[in-house]
Structure 1
Amino acid sequence: MEKQKLTPMLEQYLRFKEENPGCLLFFRMGDFFELFFEDAQTVARAVQITLTSRNPKDDNPIPMCGVPHHAVEPYLTQLLDKGYRIAICDQIEDPKEAKGLVKRAVTRVLTPGTVVEDSNLKSKENNYLGVMFWDSDRNAGGVAWVDFSTGQWSGLHSRREPELWQWIVKIGPRELLLPQGRKVPPQYAELEAQVTGVPPASYFDPAMAARRIAEVQGTASLDSLDLGDKPELVRACGALLTYLEHTQKCPLTHLGEFRPLNLGKHLLLDEVTERNLEIFRRLDGRPGKGTLWRVLDRTMTPMGGRLLEARLRQPWRDIVPIEKTQDCVVFLHDRDQLRADLRQALDGVHDLERLSTRVVLGRATPRDFVALRQSLPMLPKVRALLAGLDLDTAPDVKRLLLKWDDMEDLAGLLESSFVDSPPPLITDGGLFRKGFDPRLDELIELNEHGEDKLRTLHQQELDASSIPKLKLGYNKVFGYYFEVSKAYKGQVPDHFIRRQTLVGSERYITPALKEMEERIISASDERKALEHSLFLTLREQVASARSRFLFMADAVAALDYWQGLAEAARINEWHRPELHDGLDIDIEAGRHPVVEDAMGRATYIPNDLRMDRDKRILLITGPNMAGKSTVLRQVAIFVIMAQIGSFVPARRARLGLADRVFSRVGASDNLAQGHSTFMVEMTETARILRQATQRSLVILDEIGRGTSTYDGLSLAWAVVEELATRARGGIRTLFATHYHELTGLEGKIEGLRNLNIAVKEWKGDIVFLRRLVPGPADRSYGIEVAKLAGVPKPVVDRAREILANLEEKSQDTRSRGAVERASQKLLPGFALVPPCPQETCGDAACPAPGAPVPEHPVITRLTALDVDGMTPIEALMLLNQWKGMIKQ
């Protein structure tokens, strides 16, 4: 259909659609939001609603669908989850007062990263909008992110582009802004964010960015925000603010103070380590049971849950805040009744951060205010539970109480204002209690008791006059009236005004009756208008207390965080770890918290583990399913738990602080990125070797299993040697492997010790003892594990025959003198050709019996090699060259 044939309303629709490209346009028409053309077809298909047409009898009917305005939220949620952007085009004038076409405007653009409604959010998780900017000319960049629903925002400046991408994956924004033309690198394709391209010139302009930041933060200098020397981060922040202004159509006054991330204050966990340790999601990508988050989370409020998430993503590195948190956890851990009472009180506190955000943005519903009213009375109850206690052992709790704000003034205001169950929309009326406003009380009385008022007026006229059978009536033409039969011959009162003459009666009105009629008819509309005005005034009063709400949200979050850790420690019988600035790790009767949660404590076998200068690298061997990976993860999780202030599942633990935890556990193909299992494994290993420091903790599981035996063994050996010599004495490492050849490194590499997971053979089967004991495992028990897994008996028996033959041949080979001499120096597979056993061979190239064996070129190069001066990549390249030389 040509545009000139469209109605003015559809022309208005298309104009807004053109102004908001890439958005589904929800167009308010009366009590419905309507969509037309392609948008209608898209939405009808996406959320399963009926598709109709605007003019079904026309040759070119216009597709149309719609939803009631009061029930639109569930549909918006579904569309946002599917990745759509939505422009809300609302009526900005009363249709009753409109002259011609009702004025409309796009009041907001909904995107996954900017929603504030609870239906689109997870209460205990942040909902981030992120932006990444990289300046290739300056070789520097910045990442900024904001949770628009709480107003918290931060960022990171770096001269390493991979580090910025790693943090984006770690933060997990729901929506990511990139300059148009930029794409997410293939190696970070697991990022689940919706990517939105924005114009670089208007969004990343440095001068505009600096001006916007200064305006929003109310500062004249970016130095006060630690942004003065971070121009790339400034441009990222500017793009973030520009996007929010364009989509939210409102001032960004609710944003808090921008605080750049200080990596020096936190234990760093990259996205690979978070995934491998299953902190927030299992290895299959699903949240919930089977994660550390699930075991630790005993918080009662959304704010406390989000604080726990933040701590787990960024544990502390300094001992002072950790020990302060531990003191608070101990205080609550030792007082079961106090903790139970606190949990009950905190359970009544709703999301003060997000509720107050919606109030400030003007998007709070009456039910949001009721949630605030229910929450605020809990604050004095929480304070009363702690008041009078000796808090000297928990100074942070004491400091919190000194600044505690009961917010009783706002609690009283909200208590006196809203009814218990207000309607969802402010335009529906019925929001406020009687007694809140005298004028409103009159309107409520008229609206709810208008007929009683009329009957009272009727009775007053009957009593004041002598007119028998004076009736009160109503019709649509004349409204309310008094009817007097013509049988009455007396004089009607002077204030009676004749309006209609009938065959048997006369109908009159009175000034009082007319006034009452007008008040009754208009009372409903007046009540709604007055309640709307009162609501806006009340909203401004509550919005002005935003800073108080945020302070108490932080206070409640901290208290909830402490009691949650205490509750988890009490339920699971965990103990307070001792932290120190050294590098030693000493764990007595340690348990993996997540595995124990899944299988039960009664069946879990605890283990001891010690790492010190003489045991800096622990090489752990044992069969599959014995529990090597569990032990590795357990130590890393202990460090993370301890450095967020939590107790740990051990009888006793003494832990040296770590600056980073690295984990390379398992690997799988990433074919979409063109990466094999081995490539993924080596990429993760390379990152560890390049970034680990003396204070780091590294856990490695099965390095080199993705390639041939000799290649894998060579790489594993080289990695162990590199870790043993790095950082002036080696890096704390737990290394699980099936390469039993590596166990021979004990005594040859300083600080390396062998451990194994004990097993016991019983009548041809193996029993996993789950105990970590000194020394290497005697063999892999792979066939026995295959039998336990249900591999058919003929296959198992045949495998045993093949294994016996291979071991016999291997023994014959090892008995040769030349191979024995070479094996003392080299890895398996580097042995030289032994002397010819035949006395009369005749081949000039064949060494004669008894003749000295020439030294292999690899041995010559290895002897002269400067290991300390090599990088990991150079070592890998050299190994590849040697492999070619040996094949030749």
Structure 2
Amino acid sequence: MLEQYLRFKEEHPGCLLFFRMGDFYELFFEDAEVVSRAVQIALTSRNPNDENPIPMCGMPHHAVEPYLSQLLDKGYKIAICDQIEDPKEAKGLVKRDVTRVLTPGTVVEDSNLRSKANNYLGAFYWDSAKDAGGIAWLDFSTGQWSGLYSRKEPELWQWMVKIDPSELLLPQGVKVPPQFNDLAGQVTAVAPGTFFDLAGARNRILEAQHAADLDSLGLQGKNELVRACGALLTYLDQTQKGEFGHLGEFRPLNLGKHLLLDEVTERNLEIFRRLDGRSGPGTLWQVMDRTMTPMGGRLLEARLRQPWRNLAPIEKTQECVAFLFERDRLRGDVRHALDSVYDLERLSTRIFLGRANPKDFIALRRSLSMLPRLHSLLAGEDLDPAPDLKRILAKWDAMDDLCALLDKALVDTPPPVITDGGLFRKGFDPVLDELIELNEHGEDRLKALHRAELAKNDIPKLKLGFNKVFGYFFEVSKAYKGQVPDHFIRRQTLVNSERYITPELKELEDKIISASEERKSLEYKLFQELREHLAKARSRFLFMADAIASLDYWQGLAEAARVNEWTRPVLHDGLEIEIEQGRHPVVEAAMGAANYIPGDLRMDQGRRILLITGPNMAGKSTVLRQVAIMTIMAQIGSFVPARSARIGLADRVFSRVGASDNLAQGHSTFMVEMTETARILRQAGKRSLVILDEIGRGTSTYDGLSLAWAVVEELSTRAGGSVRTLFATHYHELTGLEGKIDGLRNLNIAVKEWKGDIVFLRRLVPGPADRSYGIEVARLAGVPRPVVERAREILAELEEKSQDNQAKGAVDRASQTLLPGFGAPPIKIDRELCEHPIITQLTDLDVDGMTPIQALMLLNQWKDMIKD
């Protein structure tokens, strides 16, 4: 047995081997020590009296799921080695085999999954010789998979971070770039020749998709993406032993359909996680999620990750949301019905793969029982205002046949284990009914037979008895002198009696004794047949899962809009953004609507860059983020937190806010800030919305101010001057750019001084802030009073010196040509130097008319002239 164990262990390196022995799963050697520590179970020994005992631990097979869940959460991979023949029929050692390998990216059980989030297995491949690559990702629990082909390696890594796979397949030797090191813990290194082989990948994809060529799958000419898809299928083949026929149609990601949000923007806007990395309260997801089903929750997540960028799907969603928003009673009834609908996608997957337990079937039955109720609720309404809702209802499949089958078949509270019996109702199968009758009422049948023999034969004191040797028998006293019936067969003679059996008694006895095992065996067979019947209906389940997800998504957005008093925005193809009484949905949820002060904002061709000044704590970052968040909300079809909103569609939203570092990767706060800024400047396009907060604060004043100014200038001209930018800054000198840069306007967060204190009015008003109020903010934050007072003294001294310098003319502000707010001393040039040809050329130089390459060539020419 141990040789058998070690052979399977060698075939599955890196896995904990759960070895089935009777009613237990056992682990030995190092695996036993690892598991006993990880899940806190007793470590014993196979041969405790030997000099070198073999460590061992185990758990009952019917209670193994919680332990598997804990181990998978800790990142372990598990090989399940089952008995593949009946031990009663085995000759010698029971045959065993590894039936599947559990990994974090391939689990299907609810205990290992977040109900409203996808669980992705990802694969990454980059060909540096061709400068092209592809990523693919697959949710094994639902069968959905997709991929992306690109010639930009950073873009592929960015998307992989967004997808956040539980497990990522990389060719051996490939490392995750330092800036994306969050993925390092999910990496599984695999042999590139086996997993990423192009010919093998092509064949596997065509076989899995039942397709004749790659063209129909959108994969033609995308060999790197084909390799990534092939790696996923090869991994599934090795871990699931070929059981992945439930995969849906492969659909490559079409970036042209979606508003793009990179992983930095998702993090900075706290869409799914707060800046501290935690999920839940404080995120946009938590405020918006009013879905009732796992499918609806996953659809909301997908929409927030990939909002639409075209008007048509947005407006169709708005129509359905508005329809349910206006009908509180209908929406309440729909929510109540949806609350009883379980995860049809994942339930159907487990049924298809043969991994469903009785509890799953009961959940499925309850879910199907709600479909007619939902249909009747919607059918009673005029759905013309919501065409998509009407379309879904027209194709509605109530699945009455499957619901009736499950209702007829299964008891209300079945046992947790399939092989224990007690699953089926009476009346489902005649043979099973007989076995149940014998199993539960065998004694009554024996007594009935006894009474029948008494009535048929005049044998006084005919008794019914039982012993372990002869089983059931009829006992006739020696005092009876008559003839016993011919069908009585003598079995035992005693001093005072004779014991007989009859063919009918023997047959009934055999049935009673074997009824329990036969019942369990038949119920297991019927359960498998029921599973196979339901597995054939997987396409129907998936269709209704999509329908339920859409309905739940719409009602969830309507419920959130009603509860939070959001309004329907108007979207258009222009650049204008007009928001009246706008609020930040997450901040408002934390503070309470009564404590939140809404504000107005307008962006158009003449106000493409809004430069926002004001002290810390005044709310600059909140204003910036709420515009970006409202744009995202609007482009998933949601209502927005404002009295009214008119929003021009965006193709990308970029966000650079806050101050953070990444010391583990050697990146300072300023380095992270510049990296994120560089990405924005390289990728911002014609319809992009850019949110920038405090650019250049991590370096010296002059360096930071110069960078901030240069960034503003670049954004003002990029993509023909169509990039919309909200730029918050403490550099008051930048406010002098209004009137010098086309489309730039100053705004500030209003602050009022009252009796020595400052009051944040939280209002966005035109014009620059008059000063920074930094010391007052420090006082409000709790900085000790002596420090605050000393800071005020130092500030007064500095301001006095600044005024003295101005009076002495040390800085000629009239000659300022570089930075608003900063002067430069006059440059004294020697008379002989003025006659140098370089000075002559410099004086006549048309700087505005030069291209960068012309400037470089001229500098090189001047350099040669100086050498000469």
Which structure 1 segments of 5+ residues have no match? 1-8, 836-846, 879-888
2:426 aligned partner, one-letter code: K
CA distance in 2, matches of 1:469, 1:865: 130
Q: Give the CA deviation at 1:379.
A: 1.0
Are positions 1:529 and 2:528 aligned together?
A: no
CA contact 1:575–1:651 (8 Å) conserved in 2: yes
Aligned 1:365-376 pairs, distance under 5 A: 365-376=357-368
Are positions 1:409 and 2:401 aligned together?
A: yes
- CA deviation string 1:274-300 (max 9, x = no partner): 000000011111111111111111111
Q: Give the CA deviation at 1:804.
A: 0.8
CA distance in 2, matches of 1:329, 1:859: 69
Are positions 1:211 and 2:203 aligned together?
A: yes
CA distance in 1, matches of 2:762, 2:707: 28
CA distance in 2, matches of 1:591, 1:179: 47
Q: Give the CA deviation at 1:499.
A: 2.1
- Aligned partner of 1:882 in structure 2 is none
- Aligned partner of 1:194 in structure 2 is 186
Q: Give the CA deviation at 1:482.
A: 2.1
CA contact 1:480–1:517 (8 Å) conserved in 2: yes
CA distance in 2, matches of 1:867, 1:458: 116
Q: Give the CA deviation at 1:822.
A: 6.8
1:346 aligned to which of 335, 338, 344: 338
Aligned 1:701-720 pairs, distance under 5 A: 701-720=693-712
CA contact 2:650–2:689 (8 Å) conserved in 1: yes
- Aligned partner of 2:221 in structure 1 is 229
- CA deviation string 1:568-621 (max 9, x = no partner): 111111111000000010000000001001111001000000001111000101
CA distance in 2, matches of 1:56, 1:822: 94
Q: Give the CA deviation at 1:498.
A: 2.2
- Aligned partner of 1:482 in structure 2 is 474
Aligned 1:289-438 pairs, distance under 5 A: 289-438=281-430
CA distance in 2, matches of 1:744, 1:559: 52
TM-score by length of 1: 0.93
- CA deviation string 1:385-437 (max 9, x = no partner): 11142222111111111111111111111111111111122111111110001
- Aligned partner of 2:784 in structure 1 is 792
* Aligned CA distance change for structure 1 residues 744 and 17 (closer, same or farther; 3 Å): same
* Aligned CA distance change for structure 1 residues 341 and 284 (closer, same or farther; 3 Å): same
- Aligned partner of 1:6 in structure 2 is none
- Aligned partner of 2:79 in structure 1 is 87
CA contact 2:736–2:820 (8 Å) conserved in 1: no
Are positions 1:681 and 2:635 aligned together?
A: no
Q: Bigger CA drift: 52-61 or 721-730?
A: 721-730
CA contact 1:172–1:193 (8 Å) conserved in 2: no
Aligned 1:459-858 pairs, distance under 5 A: 459-817=451-809, 819-821=811-813, 824-827=816-819, 831-833=823-825
CA distance in 1, matches of 2:499, 2:14: 63
- Aligned partner of 1:184 in structure 2 is 176
CA distance in 1, matches of 2:462, 2:476: 6
1:125 aligned partner, one-letter code: A
* Aligned CA distance change for structure 1 residues 61 and 697 (closer, same or farther; 3 Å): same
Q: Bigger CA drift: 406-415 or 309-318?
A: 406-415
- CA deviation string 1:93-149 (max 9, x = no partner): 111111111111100000000000011111110000000000111110000000000
1:789 aligned partner, one-letter code: A
CA distance in 2, matches of 1:94, 1:814: 98
CA distance in 2, matches of 1:35, 1:867: 76
CA contact 1:663–1:700 (8 Å) conserved in 2: yes
CA distance in 1, matches of 2:169, 2:842: 51
Q: Give the CA deviation at 1:730.
A: 4.5
* Aligned CA distance change for structure 1 residues 863 and 784 (closer, same or farther; 3 Å): farther
1:567 aligned partner, one-letter code: E
- Aligned partner of 2:2 in structure 1 is 10
CA distance in 1, matches of 2:849, 2:614: 31
CA contact 1:818–1:831 (8 Å) conserved in 2: no
CA distance in 1, matches of 2:235, 2:381: 49
Q: Secondary structure at the match of 2:629?
A: helix
CA distance in 2, matches of 1:724, 1:136: 35
Identity %: 78
Which structure 2 segments of 5+ residues have no match? 860-868
Q: Give the CA deviation at 1:672.
A: 1.0
1:361 aligned partner, one-letter code: L
1:37 aligned to which of 20, 29, 39: 29
CA distance in 2, matches of 1:489, 1:259: 89
1:393 aligned partner, one-letter code: P
Q: Give the CA deviation at 1:492.
A: 2.8
Q: Secondary structure at the match of 1:130?
A: strand
Q: Give the CA deviation at 1:474.
A: 1.9
CA contact 1:176–1:193 (8 Å) conserved in 2: no
- CA deviation string 1:227-248 (max 9, x = no partner): 0121110110001001011101
- Aligned partner of 1:263 in structure 2 is 255
CA distance in 2, matches of 1:40, 1:868: 76
2:336 aligned partner, one-letter code: Q
Q: Secondary structure at the match of 1:272?
A: helix
CA distance in 2, matches of 1:867, 1:99: 92
Aligned 1:57-96 pairs, distance under 5 A: 57-96=49-88
- CA deviation string 1:493-516 (max 9, x = no partner): 322222223343332222111111
Q: Give the CA deviation at 1:223.
A: 0.2
Q: Give the CA deviation at 1:473.
A: 2.0
Q: Secondary structure at the match of 2:145?
A: strand
* Aligned CA distance change for structure 1 residues 531 and 868 (closer, same or farther; 3 Å): farther
Q: Give the CA deviation at 1:532.
A: 1.2
RMSD in angstroms over aligned alpha carbons? 2.3
CA contact 2:258–2:306 (8 Å) conserved in 1: yes
CA distance in 1, matches of 2:700, 2:336: 59
CA contact 1:620–1:628 (8 Å) conserved in 2: yes
Aligned length: 853
Q: Give the CA deviation at 1:708.
A: 1.2
CA distance in 2, matches of 1:863, 1:78: 75
- Aligned partner of 1:844 in structure 2 is none
Q: Secondary structure at the match of 2:645?
A: strand
- CA deviation string 1:715-739 (max 9, x = no partner): 1111011111111124200001111
CA contact 2:734–2:820 (8 Å) conserved in 1: no
Q: Give the CA deviation at 1:871.
A: 8.4
CA contact 1:725–1:868 (8 Å) conserved in 2: no
1:98 aligned to which of 85, 90, 95: 90
2:200 aligned partner, one-letter code: M
Q: Give the CA deviation at 1:854.
A: 13
Are positions 1:146 and 2:142 aligned together?
A: no
Q: Bigger CA drift: 823-832 or 598-607?
A: 823-832
Q: Give the CA deviation at 1:863.
A: 10
1:274 aligned to which of 244, 261, 266: 266
CA distance in 2, matches of 1:301, 1:834: 71
- CA deviation string 1:474-530 (max 9, x = no partner): 222221222233343433332222222334333222211111111011111111111
CA contact 2:815–2:824 (8 Å) conserved in 1: no
- CA deviation string 1:782-825 (max 9, x = no partner): 11111111111101000100111111122223345462247621
